Amino acid sequence: MAAKAERTFIAIKPDGVQRGLIGDIIKRFEQKGFRLVALKFLQASEDLLKQHYIDLKDRPFYPGLVKYMSSGPVVAMVWEGLNVVKTGRVMLGETNPADSKPGTIRGDFCIEVGRNIIHGSDSVESANKEISLWFKPEELVSFKSCAFNWIYE
Protein backbone atom coordinates (compact mmCIF):
# COMPACT_ATOMS: atom_id res chain seq x y z
CA MET A 1 0.00 0.00 0.00
CA ALA A 2 1.16 3.53 -0.70
CA ALA A 3 2.96 5.33 2.13
CA LYS A 4 0.02 7.57 3.10
CA ALA A 5 -2.66 4.87 2.96
CA GLU A 6 -5.20 5.11 5.73
CA ARG A 7 -8.56 3.74 6.81
CA THR A 8 -11.90 5.45 7.32
CA PHE A 9 -15.21 4.47 8.88
CA ILE A 10 -18.31 4.88 6.71
CA ALA A 11 -21.83 4.03 7.89
CA ILE A 12 -24.98 3.96 5.82
CA LYS A 13 -27.71 5.27 8.11
CA PRO A 14 -31.21 3.77 8.47
CA ASP A 15 -32.64 6.07 5.78
CA GLY A 16 -30.00 4.96 3.27
CA VAL A 17 -30.71 1.30 4.09
CA GLN A 18 -34.49 1.74 3.85
CA ARG A 19 -34.16 3.55 0.52
CA GLY A 20 -32.11 0.73 -1.01
CA LEU A 21 -28.92 2.76 -1.52
CA ILE A 22 -26.39 0.30 -0.04
CA GLY A 23 -25.21 -1.00 -3.40
CA ASP A 24 -24.98 2.45 -4.99
CA ILE A 25 -22.87 3.76 -2.11
CA ILE A 26 -20.53 0.76 -2.01
CA LYS A 27 -20.16 0.96 -5.78
CA ARG A 28 -18.97 4.59 -5.60
CA PHE A 29 -16.20 3.71 -3.13
CA GLU A 30 -15.18 0.64 -5.14
CA GLN A 31 -15.15 2.54 -8.42
CA LYS A 32 -13.02 5.28 -6.87
CA GLY A 33 -10.42 2.61 -6.11
CA PHE A 34 -10.79 2.25 -2.36
CA ARG A 35 -10.63 -1.19 -0.79
CA LEU A 36 -13.34 -2.52 1.49
CA VAL A 37 -11.68 -4.16 4.52
CA ALA A 38 -14.71 -4.64 6.82
CA LEU A 39 -18.49 -4.60 6.54
CA LYS A 40 -21.35 -5.27 8.98
CA PHE A 41 -25.11 -5.05 8.57
CA LEU A 42 -26.55 -4.52 12.05
CA GLN A 43 -29.10 -2.93 14.29
CA ALA A 44 -26.88 -0.60 16.35
CA SER A 45 -27.61 -0.41 20.07
CA GLU A 46 -28.29 2.93 21.75
CA ASP A 47 -25.17 2.36 23.88
CA LEU A 48 -22.97 1.96 20.78
CA LEU A 49 -24.52 5.03 19.17
CA LYS A 50 -24.13 7.13 22.33
CA GLN A 51 -20.42 6.27 22.32
CA HIS A 52 -20.15 6.94 18.58
CA TYR A 53 -21.74 10.39 18.87
CA ILE A 54 -20.24 11.27 22.28
CA ASP A 55 -18.73 14.49 20.85
CA LEU A 56 -22.28 15.73 20.15
CA LYS A 57 -23.78 14.86 23.55
CA ASP A 58 -24.31 18.50 24.53
CA ARG A 59 -26.06 19.42 21.28
CA PRO A 60 -29.87 19.75 21.33
CA PHE A 61 -30.29 17.23 18.49
CA TYR A 62 -28.23 14.48 20.21
CA PRO A 63 -31.13 12.48 21.77
CA GLY A 64 -33.07 12.52 18.50
CA LEU A 65 -29.98 11.50 16.54
CA VAL A 66 -29.33 8.48 18.78
CA LYS A 67 -33.01 7.49 18.65
CA TYR A 68 -33.10 7.84 14.87
CA MET A 69 -29.86 5.93 14.31
CA SER A 70 -31.16 3.04 16.44
CA SER A 71 -34.53 3.01 14.60
CA GLY A 72 -33.37 0.65 11.85
CA PRO A 73 -30.43 -1.31 10.52
CA VAL A 74 -27.20 0.36 9.44
CA VAL A 75 -24.26 -0.75 7.31
CA ALA A 76 -20.91 -0.17 9.02
CA MET A 77 -17.83 -0.28 6.79
CA VAL A 78 -14.10 0.30 6.83
CA TRP A 79 -12.49 1.51 3.61
CA GLU A 80 -8.76 1.76 2.95
CA GLY A 81 -6.72 3.81 0.54
CA LEU A 82 -4.61 6.88 -0.08
CA ASN A 83 -6.22 9.93 1.63
CA VAL A 84 -9.44 7.94 2.06
CA VAL A 85 -10.67 10.07 5.00
CA LYS A 86 -10.50 13.38 3.13
CA THR A 87 -11.59 11.94 -0.22
CA GLY A 88 -14.41 10.00 1.43
CA ARG A 89 -15.75 13.21 2.99
CA VAL A 90 -15.67 14.91 -0.42
CA MET A 91 -17.55 11.95 -1.92
CA LEU A 92 -20.21 12.20 0.83
CA GLY A 93 -20.84 15.91 0.31
CA GLU A 94 -21.72 18.46 2.95
CA THR A 95 -23.53 17.43 6.15
CA ASN A 96 -26.49 19.50 4.97
CA PRO A 97 -27.56 18.00 1.62
CA ALA A 98 -28.78 21.43 0.47
CA ASP A 99 -25.12 22.54 0.43
CA SER A 100 -23.90 19.40 -1.36
CA LYS A 101 -22.89 19.44 -5.00
CA PRO A 102 -24.47 17.11 -7.56
CA GLY A 103 -22.24 14.07 -7.97
CA THR A 104 -21.74 13.66 -4.23
CA ILE A 105 -23.69 11.00 -2.35
CA ARG A 106 -25.71 13.53 -0.36
CA GLY A 107 -26.03 15.85 -3.36
CA ASP A 108 -27.54 13.05 -5.41
CA PHE A 109 -29.65 11.23 -2.83
CA CYS A 110 -30.65 13.58 0.04
CA ILE A 111 -32.77 16.61 0.79
CA GLU A 112 -32.73 17.19 4.58
CA VAL A 113 -29.85 17.20 7.08
CA GLY A 114 -31.76 14.89 9.46
CA ARG A 115 -31.92 12.29 6.69
CA ASN A 116 -28.48 12.59 5.11
CA ILE A 117 -28.11 8.78 4.66
CA ILE A 118 -24.42 8.40 5.46
CA HIS A 119 -21.71 9.03 8.06
CA GLY A 120 -18.01 9.37 7.33
CA SER A 121 -15.09 9.93 9.68
CA ASP A 122 -13.89 13.54 9.69
CA SER A 123 -10.24 12.85 10.56
CA VAL A 124 -7.76 9.98 10.74
CA GLU A 125 -7.99 10.14 14.55
CA SER A 126 -11.79 9.88 14.61
CA ALA A 127 -11.62 7.13 11.96
CA ASN A 128 -9.35 5.05 14.19
CA LYS A 129 -11.64 5.63 17.18
CA GLU A 130 -14.81 4.80 15.22
CA ILE A 131 -13.29 1.70 13.60
CA SER A 132 -12.25 0.32 17.00
CA LEU A 133 -15.72 1.08 18.38
CA TRP A 134 -17.60 -0.76 15.62
CA PHE A 135 -15.12 -3.55 14.71
CA LYS A 136 -12.83 -5.98 16.52
CA PRO A 137 -9.29 -6.13 15.07
CA GLU A 138 -9.88 -9.65 13.73
CA GLU A 139 -12.87 -8.40 11.72
CA LEU A 140 -10.63 -6.23 9.53
CA VAL A 141 -9.43 -8.09 6.47
CA SER A 142 -5.99 -7.33 5.08
CA PHE A 143 -5.31 -8.26 1.48
CA LYS A 144 -3.78 -6.82 -1.66
CA SER A 145 -6.29 -6.23 -4.40
CA CYS A 146 -5.37 -7.48 -7.87
CA ALA A 147 -6.27 -3.94 -9.07
CA PHE A 148 -3.73 -2.31 -6.72
CA ASN A 149 -1.10 -1.66 -9.40
CA TRP A 150 -3.78 -0.21 -11.70
CA ILE A 151 -4.86 2.29 -9.03
CA TYR A 152 -1.55 3.28 -7.43
CA GLU A 153 1.77 4.18 -9.06
Sequence spans of domains, the chain: 7-140
User: Is 52 labeled as catalytic in the residue annotation?
Assistant: no
Catalytic residue among 76, 119, 121, 127: 119
Which fold, 7-140?
Alpha-Beta Plaits (3.30.70)
- List binding-site positions for ATP: 13, 61, 89, 95, 106, 116
pTM value is 0.94
pLDDT for 58: 96
Residue set of the binding site: 13, 61, 89, 95, 106, 116
Taking a C-beta distance cutoff of 8 angstroms, is the pair 17, 73 a contact? Answer: yes
pLDDT recorded at residue 4: 66
* pLDDT at position 42: 98
pLDDT at residue 143, as a whole number: 86
**Which residues of the chain form beta strands (DSSP E)?**
5-12, 35-42, 74-82, 118-120
Report DSSP state, residue 139.
G
* pLDDT on residue 5: 82
Q: Do the Cβ atoms of 39 and 76 come closer than 8 Å?
A: yes
CA nearest to 81, candidates 136, 22, 125, 147: 147
Which portions of the chain are predicted below pLDDT 70?
Answer: 1-4
**What is the widest separation between alpha-carbon atoms in the chain?**
47
Which residues have C-beta within 8 Å of that of residue 121, sequence separation ≥ 6?
8, 9, 10, 85, 88, 89, 127, 130
